[in-house]
Amino acid sequence: MLTHQNASPVAPKRVVVVGAGGFVGSTILKELADAGVPTLGLTRREVDLLASSGADALKAALKPDDAVVFVSAVAPAKNAAQMMTNLRMAEAACVALAAAPPAHLLYISSDAVYVDDANPVTEKSAVAPSTTHGMMHAARELMFRSEYRGPFAALRPTLIYGARDPHSGYGPNRFRRQAAKGEPITIFGEGEERRDHIAIEDVARLARLILFHRSSGALNAVTGISTSFHDIANIVAAQFTPHAEVKSVPRPGPRPHLLHRFFDIADCYRAFPDFHFEPLADGLARVHRETRVQ
Amino acid sequence: MSERPTIGYAGMTHLGLCSSIAAASKGFATVGFDADAALIGRLEAGQLPVVEPGLDDLLRDNRSRIGFSADAKRLTQCDVIYVAPDVPTDDAGRSDLSSLDRLLDHVLAHSRPDTVVVVLSQVPPGFTRARQRAERLLYYQVETLVFGRAVERATLPERFIVGCPDPAAPLPEAFDTFLKAFGCPILPMRFESAELTKISINCCLVASVSVANTLAALCEKIGADWSEIVPALKLDRRIGPHSYLAPGLGLAGGNLERDLATVLRFSEEHGTEAGVIASFVANSAHRKDWALRTLHEAVLAEASDATIAVLGLAYKENTHSVKNSPSLALIRQLGPWRLKVFDPVVPASAAPHPAAAGAKSALEAVENADALAIMTPWPQFRELSCAAIARAMRGKLVLDPYRVLDGAAAHKAGLDCRTLGVS
């Protein structure tokens, strides 16, 4: 649940995006720039949080009335080493944020922080991750909450799709790329797992709203509608001429115990009553158009 | 005791007032005491501060036997005094017992040593024993007030549950005479048992409602209709014809929430497992958002300038109370939209909205509305014509969680009616 410091939206003086070179960070940067907000995008080139000078470099970049979006990560954190790398980055950021505290901090986390059997997932669901990736985000949230004393918000996106997503994880992005190459779209088993997918632009818009309201607390970046991989594959397949083939392949592992994941987004309705998510079919059609232009 | 005892009630709250009028209706001379002289003045003039079906008539019919007073000296006339102030709760359901303690001290100081003093307010286990005093007769009695049915509950109780210092000892004569006048079973028990009985009753009710909510939500997704299932359950002797199986919009009113909070607090203090109670709380919170979710999914997701009509502000029908009202909880989240409200009793000013417009009638409220939410099942809303609603509204969506409207008539009128427990 979010608590707004600004009941009415007020543009921050400046927003510093740490991790501005990535898919999520760059989209948030663009969203803010489009809204006329002064921004400073930091990539590893400007501030390497794994270098010994990382904390000092970030500290030097910060002003007291900045809002900071921390989205820098080596993702996904699939093993202990990658998890620890990410925690070291957050440790350096905590040193900088404690020494030069900004006016507001937004951390882009993940819905992987929640316990697997929460249903429907809400912001009140237990934070009990079952993966190193989820534990990394949960630990980073805790680190920032402990070390930074100002208003702190965690935005927890679910599966994100977008035209410029560099990852090809199982889902819309991989399906689109398979079809574009003339290959069959492959789904595991019958693709019956239902998941929530959110457009990157909606994640960026939520981030902007949190920054403008100087909110604290947690919010899931989810649409509240879960769709099966089978249905998503067929939506993507129908965007190509001729339609791409959708092919079932054996699951790489056992069928998951909990097949589906649903979210209750009442907290989002409360926090941002007039925010509207882009429906998945519309978003996938838009992404298809954008990738063809590219 | 040869004469009928005089019964006193300290605290002219919903509970104290309804109970005192019920005592008078059984033929007992009754004193209603409250330190609030202005309130007593209104009561003396026959103006009741609560809405309860039948209460005004009951008072009028028994006016000669009941006296209201702000003078504590009147309590010396009483053989039995019930102490019945409201015990306020915070948002987490925790009780503030300080006003009860003050009133109890006041009553003990202004009553005869042989007067039986009975705590009637809802208290946590351990409260009454901790306040026992030498040479005084202090008891606890479970109240089973139901808002909107208070007269029936007070005049025709199912049983009396009495917390006693010694359950094996007979009750004091005056107290016994009074209770027996109601002709129902009397169950004396130790204080802690009686205090926990009240909580146990409410936990059982919440369990039934939580089951109804959980399965009604499933009905909404799989093509079932919970209203078809309920009669089958009520004919099962293990469940029963009076079981609480109507799905709702989460717990409201304050008392049930207080008892769940008390069980959670005690279980934490004593290390007992109470996960099911936490689940009841979570289920209630989830169900409370039903109207908000449905409105967003059906209308608000694509309409930035919608007008919403809300019928009903009270937390349930036949009451003026808005404590934890699902209607107010919904309205609180409708800030960006135009809002028109109507409640037969609660004024529009109770709506927590920057620009709520009060209507003089239900039909006036729904005029040109894009969506209608019937948030309190007031009996008069059942008389509304679906065709008239459809003609008056601009949109078609009607949230009718409690099935106030005739579903077939609503469908025929072209309304898109959403009801708890049905797909």
Q: Which helix (DSSP H) or strand (DSSP E) does residue A206 occupy?
A: helix A200-213
Return d(Cα A156, Cα A111) in angstroms, integer.
5
Within 13 Å, how many C-alpha atoms sit on residue A69's CB side?
Answer: 34
State the count of interchain CB pairs (< 8 A) between A and B.
Answer: 32
Q: What is d(CA B301, CA B289) in angstroms, rounded to the nearest whole number?
A: 16
Interchain contact, B302 vs A276, CB within 8 Å: yes
* Contact flag B334-A273 (C-beta cutoff 8 Å): yes
Of B286, B301, B333, which has the smallest distance from its Cβ to A264's Cβ? B286
Q: How far is B297 from chain A (nearest CA, A)?
A: 9
| pLDDT attached to residue A294 | 59
Side by side, the strands of the sheet bearing A194-199 are A159-161, A194-199, A226-228
- Mind telling me how many Å the CA of B275 is from chain A's nearest CA? 14
Which positions in chain A have a beta carbon within 8 angstroms of at least one beta carbon in chain B? 120, 122, 124, 224, 264-266, 269-270, 273-274, 276-277
B359: left (phi over 0), alpha (psi -120 to 50) or beta: beta
The residue in chain A having the minimum alpha-carbon distance to the alpha carbon of residue B283 is A120
B162, amino acid identity: V
**Å from B219 to nearest chain A CA?**
16
* Residue A102 in tokens: 């900004």
Q: Chain A residues with CB inside 8 Å of B285's CB?
A: 124
- The residue among B299, B292, B303, B312 whose CA lies nearest residue B396 is B299
Q: How far apart are CA B127 and CA B77, in angstroms?
A: 27
Predicted local confidence at residue A293, as pLDDT: 65
Mutation for A interface: B213, B249, B293, B328, most A CBs within 10 A: B293
Q: Which residues of A touch B297 (CB under 8 A)?
A: 224
Q: Which helix (H) or strand (E) holds A2?
A: strand A2-4
Cβ contacts of B249 on chain A, cutoff 8 Å: none
Residues in B closer than 8 angstroms to A122, CB to CB, are: 286
User: Mean of the pLDDT values across residues B128-136?
Assistant: 94
Tokens of A30: 């663009």
**β-bridge mates for residue B376, sequence order:** none
More confident site: B169 or A166? B169
The pLDDT confidence band at residue B37, using thresholds 50, 70 and 90, is: very high
Q: How far apart are CA B288 and CA B284, in angstroms?
A: 6
Distance (Å) from the C-alpha of residue A265 to the closest C-alpha of chain B? 8
Residue A14: per-residue pLDDT: 98
Chain A residues with CB under 8 Å of B333 CB are 269-270, 273
Q: Which of B220, B294, B333 best tests the A interface by mutation, with the highest count of A CBs <10 A?
A: B333
**Smallest Cα distance from B164 to chain A, Å:** 42
> Strands, E, within B232-325: which ranges?
307-311
Out of A266, A273, A277, name the one closest to residue B289 (CB): A266
What is the per-residue pLDDT across B234-282, written as a single tens digit (0 to 9) for each?
Answer: 999 999 999 999 999 998 877 899 999 999 999 999 999 999 999 999 9
Tell me the C-alpha to C-alpha distance, in Å, between residue B166 and each of B139, B188, B195, B312: 10, 9, 15, 47
B-chain CB neighbours of A277 within 8 Å are 301
Give the residues across from A195 on adjacent strands.
A227
In chain A, whose CA is at the least distance from the CA of B296? Answer: A269
Q: Are B402 and B377 in contact (CB under 8 A)?
A: yes
- Chain B CB contacts of A276 under 8 Å are 301-302
Interchain pair A269, B292: CB under 8 A: yes
Residues of B in contact with A269 (CB under 8 A): 289, 292-293, 296, 333
pLDDT of residue B321: 87
Let me know how long chain B is.
Answer: 423
Query: Hey, are the CB atoms on B336 and A273 less than 8 Å from each other?
Result: yes
Residue from the list B293, B301, B333 with its beta carbon closest to the beta carbon of A276? B301
CB of B382 closer than 8 Å to CB of B400? no
Helix H or strand E segment including B201: helix B191-222
Q: What's the average model confidence in pLDDT over B380-398?
A: 96
Q: What is the pLDDT of residue A28?
A: 98
The contact set of B with A (CB < 8 A) is 282, 285-286, 289, 292-293, 296-297, 300-302, 304, 333-337
Nearest-neighbour CA in chain A from B302: distance (Å): 7
Rounded Cα gap, residues A128 and A126, in angstroms? 6
**Number of helical (H) and strand (E) elements in chain A, helices listed first:** 9, 12
**Nearest residue to B79 via CA among B150, B171, B191, B170:** B171
Task: List the pLDDT tens digit at each of the 294 positions of chain A.
Answer: 999 999 999 999 999 999 999 999 999 999 999 999 999 999 999 999 999 999 999 999 999 999 999 999 987 889 999 999 999 999 999 999 999 999 999 999 999 999 998 989 999 999 999 999 999 999 999 999 999 999 999 999 999 999 999 888 899 999 999 999 999 999 999 999 999 999 999 999 999 999 999 999 999 999 999 999 999 999 999 999 999 999 999 988 877 766 899 999 999 999 999 999 999 999 999 999 998 765
Weakest-pLDDT range from A253-262, B290-299, B340-349, B379-388: A253-262
Distance, CA of A52 to chain centre:
27
- Collect all residues of chain B within an 8 Å Cβ-Cβ radius of residue A264: 286, 289, 293
Q: For B362-389, what is the mean pLDDT?
A: 96
Q: Residue B97: is its pLDDT beyond 60?
A: yes
CA nearest neighbour of B171 among B331, B5, B403:
B5
Q: Measured between beta carbons, which residues in chain A are less than 8 angstroms from residue B301?
A: 276-277
